[in-house]
Every structure is written in C-alpha cells, then in structure tokens.
Amino acid sequence: MGAFEDRAAQNEVLFRSVNEQIEKLGRESDQQHVQFVCECSHGTCAEQIQLTLSEYEEVRSDGRWFAIVPGHLTEQIEHVVRATDRYLIVEKDTPAAVEITEDSDPRD
C-alpha cells in the first residue's frame, strides 16, 4: 500500500460524497438519467456519467463499489464488476483501499 493507492481511494471517496448530493437533487426532478461525476481515482477527472437512480442505487449497495467512465480503471487497486456502454462499476481490491472506502461509506 503506497501513497498513490491511498490518494486514489481518497479521491473516489470524495466523488462518492459529491454523487450522494447529486442523487438527492435527482430525486426531486423527473429526469430518467442523472448526471453523476466519475468516481475514478484520477484526481483531475471531471467527466460525467449518466445513470438512472436505480443504477446509482446498485452502485451504492456495496461500500467497495464505484461508478466510473469506461477507460478510467486503475488496475492496481480495483477490478470491473459490471461494464455498460455508459459506465463501469469497479470494486476495490487492496485491503487499505477497502478500509478507506468502507469506513467512509455514507450509507453505514
């Protein structure tokens, strides 16, 4: 576990909390798809992904899962759980990344 992995996990946690706020706003509108931010570990990523609220809920059903833009996978710390045209669901692999992401799970 190095500083890189630590930072990568922290980034994903940060974007997850942003998406929790986006989801709240999405629930108040009638949109089919909601624009969430990519939860990848690249600190400079500002891309958006479109998910329905139920798709987003599936990602949040596991504290180790994150939704990212296809191609934004960081193989050192995660692997793909589900791939679609619009987004990937990735799961954390390294114990420290798992610890960081689970400790800060907003759904706990």
- Least Å from the CB of residue 82 to Zn ion: 16
Residues in touch with Zn ion (CB under 5 A):
38, 40, 45, 69, 72
Q: What is the CA radius of gyration of the chain?
A: 13
* CB closer to Zn ion out of 47 and 99: 47
- Least Å from the CB of residue 87 to Zn ion: 10
* CB closer to Zn ion out of 69 and 77: 69
* CB closer to Zn ion out of 72 and 92: 72
Do the Cβ atoms of 34 and 87 come closer than 8 Å? no
Q: Element (H or E) spanning 6, and its range?
A: helix 3-27
- Least Å from the CB of residue 55 to Zn ion: 17
| Residue 77, Cβ density class (10 Å: 0-12 exposed, 13-18 middle, ≥19 buried) | buried
